[in-house]
Amino acid sequence: MTDTLFLASSDVDSLATPAEYVDAVREGYRQRGEGAPAQPRSKFLREDPAGMFTAYAAILPDTGAMGGYMYSAGFGAADAWFMTPLFDAESGAPLALLDGASMNPFKTGAVGAVGVDELARDDADTLAIIGSGAQARGQLHATATVREFTDVRVYSPTPENRKAFASDFDDALEADVRAVDSSTAAVTDADVVITATQASEPVIDGDDLEPGTHVTAMGQYSPDKRELDAETIARATYVPDLRDRATLDAGSFIQALEADAITEDHVHAELGEVVAGTEPGRTSDDELTVFDSGGTGIETVAAAYLLYERASEQGLGQPIEFAPASEALTGN
């Protein structure tokens, strides 16, 4: 038997700052850029009851951990459940099992922030956010740690939601955070644009993007969903979290392919390759860059191990026992 740490959502809440998530996730992508294994998500759908089950995984050798993310959404519960198993990358033994709900916006926000840090201009100080939900909040918390923004504009279709978002962050950040009444008003002259929606049609007009803008899109991980139009993808230096995702479930890229706006060779590099320095990121101030973040095991393992270490130091969580296969299968 081996003791494995179970960490409830309440155990890991507030264990790490946004900047610490960003540092851990950046290190995970560096390892990926140097060859660490990771694959895109597998997604399974059921019609009756309607629901989705999805999973992805990665090994981070230098961190010493491996694991992934499994979650269900819909079905009879009409809700979502997030589970993160974490293993020791040397021994293979289970280290922890985390309720992944609390860390989800932070680890996803962290990879978005790494994309901004690697691809946005160094002098970027104006940020547009399309979306006002938990993921948009996670993106802003994390991205505010990698650039000194002075002007943040948020747009979402519901006025009450965008106003509440702006009010909350205007108090929390030194930047002027304000709600605007259209996506055009948000992105015009913005240095960085973040889309955090569940849209099936583009949420911004590529014509509104100035040369030199960076776009992080994180809500397009299905072929029938897209936040960016074909023109934006075609104009941009396009960097996904994983190269294999581009033609698997990156909706904006796939639909640009189908429109003959690009070819599969349009993928510039994976994020990890840029972080590791094996491929260049931005090469000019007037370059339009796009980071397509669909979710991987890289940020999941990096964030989960950070939380596991913090929880262990503070004596949080409950031990649960796992039997090794040699014992469970033989009874010895």
What is the model's pLDDT at position 330? 72
Lowest-pLDDT range, 17-21, 198-202, 226-230? 198-202
Query: Mean pLDDT across the chain, nearest whole number?
Result: 95
What is the model's pLDDT at position 326? 80
Task: Name the pLDDT band for 273 (thresholds 50, 70, 90).
Answer: very high
C-alpha torsion 263→284→173→114, nearest 10: 50
CA distance 176 to 69: 36
Cβ atoms of residues 300 and 69 within 8 Å: yes
Q: Is 112 exposed, middle or buried (0-12, 13-18, 19+ CB in 10 A)?
A: buried
Backbone φ, ψ for residue 11 (5° rounding): -70, -40
What is the model's pLDDT at position 285? 97
What is the model's pLDDT at position 159? 97
> How confident is the model over 12-29, as a mean pLDDT?
96
Cβ atoms of residues 115 and 145 within 8 Å: no
- For residue 4, which of 123, 122, 92 has the smallest C-alpha distance? 92
Taking residue 7's Cβ as centre, other Cβ atoms within 10 Å add up to: 26
Structure token digits, residue 277? 């320095």
Does the pLDDT value for residue 219 go beyond 90?
A: no
Taking residue 178's Cβ as centre, other Cβ atoms within 10 Å add up to: 17
Query: What DSSP designation does 277 have?
Result: T
CA distance 245 to 58: 14
Has this prediction a pTM greater than 0.85? yes
% of the chain with per-residue pLDDT over 70: 99
Tens of pLDDT along 240-266?
Answer: 999 999 999 999 999 999 999 999 999
Residues 6+ apart with CB under 8 A from 328: none
Does the pLDDT value for residue 2 go beyond 90?
A: no
> How confident is the model over 96-124, as a mean pLDDT?
96
Task: Name the pLDDT band for 325 (thresholds 50, 70, 90).
Answer: confident
Q: Is 310 exposed, middle or buried (0-12, 13-18, 19+ CB in 10 A)?
A: middle
**Residue in the structure block whose two tokens are 């479930």:** 249
CA distance 267 to 243: 7
What is the model's pLDDT at position 116? 98
Lowest-pLDDT range, 35-39, 113-117, 328-332? 328-332
Residue 79 corresponds to which amino acid?
A: D
What is the model's pLDDT at position 42? 93
What is the model's pLDDT at position 1? 67
Domains in the chain: ranges and CATH: 2-104+297-330 (3.30.1780.10), 115-292 (3.40.50.720)
Tens of pLDDT along 74-102?
Answer: 998 888 999 999 999 999 999 999 998 89
Task: Name the pLDDT band for 20 (thresholds 50, 70, 90).
Answer: very high
Backbone φ, ψ for residue 272 (5° rounding): -60, -35
**Does residue 331 or residue 226 have the better pLDDT?**
226
